[in-house]
């Protein structure tokens, strides 16, 4: 069999493959519902509580924030910077001082 004929047969075989794939059942997209757990913990009111609620509760629960170890302001600033830089958290820059003060004061109580 000449090479050109063999090449033509191989190309025809590849050309017929997509039509066979189209004969399969079409892809079905299904809507999925996810139920997130609801915690009954709330953060105590005080200066900075609104900023924490506005910026942190996208990803964290109140319980998670309440059980953090005591850390100095410099450590909280590093953690918040990491949340913004690494995890792309939508934290408002102007709210960061209030968040840091709230978390530091929360642990002092």
Domain boundaries, the chain: 49-108
pLDDT per residue rounded down to tens, the chain (109 residues): 566 777 667 666 666 665 555 556 777 888 777 676 667 889 999 999 999 999 999 899 999 999 899 999 999 999 999 999 999 999 999 999 999 999 999 866 5
DSSP structure class, residue 16: H
User: Which of the four CATH numbers 1.10.10.10, 3.10.350.10, 1.20.1260.10, 1.10.760.10 does domain 49-108 have?
Assistant: 1.10.760.10
DSSP code of 26? P
Distance CA 87, CA 80 (A): 10
Local structure of 77: helix, strand or coil:
helix
Q: What is the DSSP letter of 94?
A: G
């Amino acid at each position: 069999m000449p090479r050109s004929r063999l090449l033509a047969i191989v190309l025809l075989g590849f050309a017929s493959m997509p039509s066979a794939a189209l004969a399969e059942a079409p892809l079905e997209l299904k809507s999925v519902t996810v139920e997130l757990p609801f915690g009954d913990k709330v953060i105590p009111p005080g200066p900075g509580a609104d900023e924490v609620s506005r910026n942190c509760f996208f990803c964290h629960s109140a319980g998670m924030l309440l059980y953090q170890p005591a850390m100095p302001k410099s450590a909280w600033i590093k953690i918040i910077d990491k949340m913004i830089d690494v995890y792309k958290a939508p934290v408002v820059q102007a709210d960061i001082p209030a968040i840091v003060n709230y978390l530091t004061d929360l642990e002092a109580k």
